């Protein structure tokens, strides 16, 4: 097989955390994450998305580069790295960085003390990305730190505390308060604390505890020189070490895939449908493909060059040569800056990018425009082709089956040649392009304005890279002036229109491509003819339009200000910014999540078989192929049911579908096997035959088909005042509509469960990430036909939940419980990301139709509103969530006459479920939308109209809830802190001068009531004190990153008078705390804190005589005495005082909420009218949290919720197709905010001198309220769009729906290049 006579090795050797790993004939389908987690039991490396799109699985890979004699370290995504690529390499995981058993690494310590950890699931990946950077660059810049983390997603923190903690490693970091740093104040006279002051931090001790690179790999090149061959039944993996062998193998296996960086190989390896065995040839150790050569034509790059290495080489060439000679290289750096993530760039190669021939590949489109050359080799010889001839069609090239790419020529630019790269994508990082472009223009001679040559290439417009040949030819021989630009825009529009025929986003894509050309034209004119002034540019426009991507990178910052209690006992931690109790465990990877629990002997793995049709009859279920697979133990469907097949909140769903399926993702069956991989593969082999029916998928479909879920009782409408009469007396009446899109939770840990039969009497332990253990316990017991006292649901922690694990955890738990019962073996199920997104529920989409009456002074007098929600096929808790929407249809405004109605649309989509805010985010943005319409109609400042209508302290809402002074205090304080009036004037001045860039500003007040329905308002707790004085707490709430356990420990510490170090919470368990309410509604601390308070007070009452008799004694002394006196040191606390009452929908009487949490936010944005891109420039938030139990945790909740809400209102498109399939499935297509999405400046202040007599120690619930503030981002963007439309002479009355995506922004601005030229050409 190989040219030399040496036999190929079938033994894989690599190192993990300094330990040598030897695998004999490993399976080529095995990925690094699987080995780490399942074989080596290193579960600190998490798997979240399974496609290299979230960074949770990040590890560091190191190798010795013999060409430079240096050890290189880089971050990679373990979930997509085939293990066979690791021969001779060293892997470092989070376990080797630091440990609570020895010592934490400095970066882990800083992350913990900087409050950069909430749920902790993403934390090991964050740590490893930063660790890899520090190993390569011990003193990076702040921008390099941010850049290194752009491949890591976090759904909890909002990123700011993570950035603050890590940027302390940069020498150019300092306290965000500058001269006002709290360290410059007298601490005794100051109660203001600013989080994460970086001044005077100890120098990093990097290097003192770093893992030493294995000497064997450094001293010997034996592993570099070994040819490899690994085989499984389906895949053969070959690794040659010289080009001659590679070409020979490619001749023998012309159909073989080449694995260079391997970033795409994992997807082929996991594909179960193969007609014949797959052959993969690894090219990693072929030195001929990793060469570099500089010649007179340019820079010849080996095909195996990674994007990261290419980036470094290009920067060296730019430093070495003139600007004119390296213009292509500057543009390539622009492309690489936006290419994937650091983890992807570290592995992806330039040859691999070209070979994929992707229409969206950023590098390909630029190299096409630049006229690069590609060198190709085979056993028949070598040839060189122009890149114009290399790409031949949709994902096809001129490569023959036996050929490989060896080198790519990156040509030097001439002094008369200019090129540019441009990209438009839904999200700045980790996202494929909607449209990208590589543009080149060459002029006749020095100082000539006559175009000699041009080449315009675009990606994303059609199924292949598009070359605008007519427009490229059109400019040749023409002079560079305004007339040419105007005509070129028209030519380009006509030509590109043909490429995007049939695309729903046709007009958007053409306009964006024109915008690219417009910017390119400006760039050329500025570089070549700086004195040519045929375009008038505002200075900030000029900076933006002419800057490189690297130059546009900006640092993020923020200030967090709050009061802390001074002169407080050392054993009283209430009100102190204590770090998350289990942050150290999360930072070291020691924190155990569900799928981290080590398997028992004989443990089985379950994968659901779900419907691929939205509405269909089931004709046949055939699991025979699956059951025939090795390692498959069994198959479950409706015939496996022990008791009832009915389940769900209202027992209206089936555990396994019987005769019909009603949405894509509905459970039909389940495969049980001996491993995750076998179970998932077998599930895909189960054959389901259907008779398809016509589905209903949209709100509009449901309305036209009169398809609605029924309301229970009299719910569904609130009629307050006399709306009809009020409309008759108003000065003005307007009507309108708003659509609010749905949203995916995207918790980092997917739904997971482990069910363990205890071996007797029907008992079972259920380890599940659920917010509602008691509810799940009842469903499992009912399914197995056993009493609840034999089912014990355990939840130690969750990697995020946000409502998504409140009700629908049963989807995997019940089949797993049935399998555990049937086979009498432990069974676990961990959903893959795409399946989790398809089946487990999401925030419901809304359509609102409103009519508003108001007077000339801006006072709103009447509101008539219909809200339609797309609830999917089953209603779950839809009525309750729509009820929330109706209750908040006023937001913070006193409207004397309101008639609001809710409609629950029944569609063939998966059922919706609870999500952070539970109906309030939709109701509130609808309210603010029509309030904005009132302001625009009256041509009055929006904040003035809001102020005119705002409730005052002492008012009572239309649902009888009293309003506190804090509402207006927050509003007034945020206007002051943001210097709103001055900012508004500056923005208006900016918009008058700027054509392409527009700024917007918005201030939004909110109120939100933490709590649950009165019947759910209960909580239990158990506090145990042991002989050594240590304390163990149990309560009914679950920890999902919101810091609930930490706050509970703080409450206990105050009452008991002991240090928090003596208090521990192990888990939440239904066997200890029965019948608990769900952990949701931002009520966890209110309910469980009160129960813990009760239990601790009982203990202190029992200890009082002992303390009185020995007042100078210590806690441990009192406990020993109590035990000697046989005093019970276990107390059970309980709380059941509802602070609200049921609302009578018929009479409109009742107070559904006990209190409100208030806040206000001012957001400033800048939009690019040509592309729709936007930047959140600054956010100021003032929040009333009462007397905070832990201000650091509360600030973290505010920031994290705000960023999640930014996704809801301005980024995340959650789209179902007409066939019911989720089109935005997976991390690659569903775009939650990244580090680049957050505000450049985010300032959070907690309102001073607040209280709340209805909750523990005057605190307030905070998990959900701040999310509502982020609709200020939506309205700031809309405000900027209105400014653009005003300039274009367009009506301010236009459709602008949520989320405010880049597509919608660009389309709504109405400022196409042709229109702009009318005012700019002189």
Q: Which residues pair with 827 in a beta bridge?
A: 604, 755
Torsion of CA 551, 1228, 370, 380, to 10 degrees: 140
Tokens of residue 637, six digits: 């469907």
Is residue 170 within 8 A of residue 139, CB to CB? The reply is yes
- Cα-flanking dihedrals φ and ψ of residue 932, to 5°? -65, -40
Tokens of residue 298, six digits: 């340019």
219, 300, 244, 273: which is closest to 3 by C-alpha?
244
How far apart (Å, rounded) are the C-alpha atoms in residues 333 and 354? 17
Radius of gyration of the chain (CA): 31
- Cα-flanking dihedrals φ and ψ of residue 946, to 5°? -65, -40
How far apart (Å, rounded) are the C-alpha atoms in residues 1087 and 1009? 14
Is residue 897 within 8 A of residue 722, CB to CB? The reply is yes
Strands (DSSP E) found in 907-964 = none
How far apart (Å, rounded) are the C-alpha atoms in residues 1207 and 1195? 19
Q: Which residues pair with 65 in a beta bridge?
A: 70
- Cα-flanking dihedrals φ and ψ of residue 94, to 5°? -60, -25
How far apart (Å, rounded) are the C-alpha atoms in residues 1233 and 427? 8
Longest dimension (CA), the chain: 103
How far apart (Å, rounded) are the C-alpha atoms in residues 712 and 714? 6
Just list the catalytic residues.
1264
Q: Which residues pair with 62 in a beta bridge?
A: 73, 90
Is residue 1161 within 8 A of residue 1272, CB to CB? The reply is yes
How far apart (Å, rounded) are the C-alpha atoms in residues 288 and 274? 32
CA 875-877-879 angle, 5° bins: 80
Q: Which residues pair with 1106 in a beta bridge?
A: none
C-alpha dist (Å) from residue 675 to 38, 204, 383, 829: 10, 43, 47, 10
- Give yes or no for a cis peptide into 1299 (omega within 30° of 0): yes
Cα torsion 630, 634, 638, 639: sign: positive
Residue 649: CB atoms within 10 A of its CB come to: 21
How far apart (Å, rounded) are the C-alpha atoms in residues 1013 and 311? 57
First to last CA, the chain: 70
Cα torsion 1271, 1272, 1277, 1280: sign: positive
CA 931-935-941 angle, 5° bins: 120
Is residue 348 within 8 A of residue 375, CB to CB? The reply is no
1002, 991, 847, 861: which is closest to 926 by C-alpha?
847
With b meaning 16 or more CB within 10 Å and e meaning fewer, what string describes 1000-1018? bbbbbbbbbbbbbbbebbb
DSSP string over 1248-1296 = SS---TTSGGGB---SSHHHHHTHHHHHHHHHHHHHHHHHTT--S----
C-alpha dist (Å) from residue 1092 to 130, 482, 697, 1037: 39, 73, 46, 11
- Determine how β-strand 417-424 pairs with β-strand 435-443: antiparallel
- Determine how β-strand 404-411 pairs with β-strand 298-302: antiparallel
Instruction: Give the position of tokens 């983390």.
Output: 149
């Amino acid at each position: 097989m190989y040219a030399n006579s040496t036999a190929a090795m079938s033994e894989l050797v690599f190192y993990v955390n300094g330990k040598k790993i030897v695998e004999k004939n490993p399976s080529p389908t095995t990925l690094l994450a699987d080995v780490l987690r399942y074989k080596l039991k290193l579960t600190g490396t998490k798997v979240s998305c399974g496609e290299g799109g979230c960074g949770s699985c990040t590890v560091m890979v190191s190798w010795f580069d013999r060409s430079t004699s240096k050890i290189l370290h880089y971050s990679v995504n373990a979930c997509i790295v085939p293990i066979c690529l690791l021969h001779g390499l060293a892997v470092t995981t989070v376990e080797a960085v630091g440990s609570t058993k020895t010592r934490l690494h400095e970066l882990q310590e800083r992350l913990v003390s900087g409050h950069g950890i909430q749920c902790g699931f993403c934390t090991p990946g964050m740590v490893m990305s930063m660790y890899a950077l520090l190993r390569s660059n011990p003193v990076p810049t702040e921008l390099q730190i941010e850049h290194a983390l752009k491949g890591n997603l976090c759904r909890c923190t909002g990123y700011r505390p993570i950035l603050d903690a890590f940027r302390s490693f940069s020498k150019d970091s300092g306290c965000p308060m500058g001269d006002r740093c709290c360290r410059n104040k007298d601490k005794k006279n100051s109660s203001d604390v600013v989080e994460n002051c970086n001044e005077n931090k100890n120098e990093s001790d990097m290097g003192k505890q770093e893992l030493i690179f294995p000497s064997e790999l450094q001293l010997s090149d034996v592993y570099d020189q070994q040819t490899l061959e690994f085989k499984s039944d389906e895949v053969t993996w070959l690794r040659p070490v010289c080009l001659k062998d590679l070409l020979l193998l490619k001749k023998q296996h012309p159909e073989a895939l080449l694995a260079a960086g391997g970033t795409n190989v994992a997807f082929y390896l996991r594909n179960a449908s193969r007609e014949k065995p797959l052959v993969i040839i690894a090219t990693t150790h072929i030195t001929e493909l990793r060469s570099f050569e500089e010649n007179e034509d340019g820079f010849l790059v080996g095909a195996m060059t990674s994007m990261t290495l290419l980036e470094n080489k290009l920067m060296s060439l730019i430093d070495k040569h003139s600007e004119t000679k390296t213009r292509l290289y500057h543009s390539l750096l622009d492309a690489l800056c936006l290419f994937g993530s650091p983890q992807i760039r570290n592995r992806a190669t330039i040859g691999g990018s070209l070979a994929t021939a992707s229409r969206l590949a950023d590098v390909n489109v630029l190299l096409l425009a630049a006229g690069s050359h590609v060198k190709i080799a085979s056993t028949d010889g070598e040839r060189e082709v122009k890149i114009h001839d290399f790409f031949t069609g949709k994902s096809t090239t001129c490569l023959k089956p036996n050929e490989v790419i060896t080198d790519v020529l990156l040509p030097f630019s001439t002094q008369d040649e200019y090129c540019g790269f441009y990209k438009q994508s839904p999200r700045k990082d980790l996202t494929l392009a909607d449209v990208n472009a590589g543009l080149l223009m060459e002029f006749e001679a020095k100082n000539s304005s006559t175009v000699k040559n041009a080449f315009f290439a675009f990606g994303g417009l059609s199924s292949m890279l598009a070359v605008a040949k007519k427009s490229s030819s059109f400019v040749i021989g023409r002079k560079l002036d305004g007339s040419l630009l105007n005509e070129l825009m028209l030519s380009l529009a006509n030509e590109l229109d043909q490429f995007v025929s049939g695309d729903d986003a046709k007009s958007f894509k053409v306009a964006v491509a024109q915008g690219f050309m417009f910017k390119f034209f400006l760039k050329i004119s500025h570089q070549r003819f700086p004195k040519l002034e045929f375009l008038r540019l505002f200075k900030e426009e000029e900076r933006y339009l002419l800057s490189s991507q690297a130059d546009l990178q900006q640092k993020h910052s923020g200030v967090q200000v709050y009061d802390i209690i001074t002169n407080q006992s050392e054993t009283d931690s209430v009100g102190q910014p204590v770090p998350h109790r289990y942050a150290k465990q999360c930072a070291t990877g020691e924190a155990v999540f569900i799928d981290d629990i080590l398997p028992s002997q004989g443990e089985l793995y379950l994968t659901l078989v779900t419907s691929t049709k939205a509405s269909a009859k089931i004709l046949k279920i055939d699991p025979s192929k699956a059951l025939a697979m090795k390692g498959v133990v069994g198959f479950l469907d409706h015939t496996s049911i022990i008791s009832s097949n009915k389940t769900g909140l209202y027992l209206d769903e089936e555990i396994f579908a019987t005769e019909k399926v009603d949405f894509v993702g509905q459970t039909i069956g389940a495969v049980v096997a001996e491993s995750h991989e076998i179970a998932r593969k077998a599930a895909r082999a189960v054959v389901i035959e259907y008779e398809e029916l016509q589905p209903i998928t949209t709100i509009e479909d449901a309305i036209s088909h009169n398809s609605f879920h029924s309301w229970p009782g009299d719910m569904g409408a609130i009629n307050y005042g006399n709306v009809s009469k009020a409309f008759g007396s108003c000065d003005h009446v307007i009507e309108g509509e708003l659509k609010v899109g749905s949203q995916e939770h995207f918790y980092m840990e997917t739904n997971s469960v482990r069910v363990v039969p205890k071996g007797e009497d029907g008992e079972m332990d259920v380890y599940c990430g659920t917010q509602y253990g008691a509810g799940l316990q009842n469903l499992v017991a009912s399914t197995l036909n056993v009493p609840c006292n034999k089912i014990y649901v355990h939840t130690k922690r969750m990697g995020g939940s946000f409502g998504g694990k409140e009700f629908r955890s049963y989807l995997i738990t019940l089949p797993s419980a049935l399998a555990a019962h049937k086979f009498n073996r432990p069974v676990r199920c961990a959903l893959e990301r795409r399946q989790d997104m398809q089946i487990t529920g999401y925030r419901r989409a809304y359509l609102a139709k409103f009519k508003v009456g108001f007077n000339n002074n801006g006072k709103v007098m009447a509101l008539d509103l219909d809200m339609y929600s797309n609830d999917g096929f089953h209603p779950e808790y839809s009525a309750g969530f729509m009820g929330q929407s109706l209750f908040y249809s006023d937001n913070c405004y006193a409207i004397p006459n309101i008639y609001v109605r809710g409609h629950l649309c029944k569609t063939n989509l998966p059922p919706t479920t609870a999500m952070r805010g539970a109906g309030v985010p939709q109701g509130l943005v609808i309210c603010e939308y029509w309030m904005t319409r009132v302001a625009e109609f009256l041509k009055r400042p929006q904040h003035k109209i809001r102020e005119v209508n705002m409730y005052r302290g002492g008012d009572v809402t239309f649902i009888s809830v009293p309003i506190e002074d804090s509402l207006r205090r927050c509003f007034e304080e945020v206007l002051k802190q943001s210097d709103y009036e001055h900012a508004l004037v500056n923005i208006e001045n900016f918009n008058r001068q700027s054509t392409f860039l527009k700024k917007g500003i918005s201030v939004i007040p909110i109120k939100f009531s933490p709590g649950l329905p009165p019947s759910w308002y209960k909580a239990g707790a158990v506090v145990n004190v042991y002989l050594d004085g240590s304390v163990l707490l149990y309560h009914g709430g679950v920890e999902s990153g919101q810091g609930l356990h930490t706050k509970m420990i703080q409450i206990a510490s105050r009452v008991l008078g002991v240090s928090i170090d003596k208090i521990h919470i192990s888990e939440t368990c239904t066997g200890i705390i029965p019948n608990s309410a769900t952990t949701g509604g931002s009520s966890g601390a209110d309910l469980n804190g009160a129960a813990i308070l009760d239990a601790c007070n009982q203990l202190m009452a029992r200890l009082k005589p002992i303390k009185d008799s020995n007042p100078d004694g210590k806690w441990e002394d009192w406990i020993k005495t109590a035990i000697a006196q046989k005093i019970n040191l276990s107390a059970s606390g309980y709380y059941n005082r509802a602070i609200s009452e049921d609302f009578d929908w018929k009479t409109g009487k009742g107070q559904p909420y006990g209190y409100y949490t208030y806040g206000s936010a001012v957001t400033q944005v800048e939009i690019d009218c040509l592309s729709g891109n936007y930047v959140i420039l600054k956010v100021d938030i003032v929040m009333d949290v009462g007397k905070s139990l832990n201000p650091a945790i509360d600030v973290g909740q505010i920031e994290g919720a705000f960023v999640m809400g930014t996704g809801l209102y301005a980024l995340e498109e959650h789209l179902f197709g007409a066939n019911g399939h989720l089109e935005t499935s997976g991390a690659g297509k569903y775009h939650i905010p990244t580090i680049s999405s957050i505000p450049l400046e985010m300032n959070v202040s907690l309102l001073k001198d607040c209280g709340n007599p209805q909750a523990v120690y005057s605190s307030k619930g905070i998990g959900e309220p701040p999310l509502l503030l982020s609709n200020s981002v939506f309205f700031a963007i809309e405000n900027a769009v209105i400014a653009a439309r005003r300039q274009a002479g367009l009506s301010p009355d236009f459709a602008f729906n949520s989320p405010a995506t880049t597509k919608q922004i660009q389309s709504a601005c109405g400022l196409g290049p042709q229109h702009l030229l009318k005012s700019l050409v002189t």
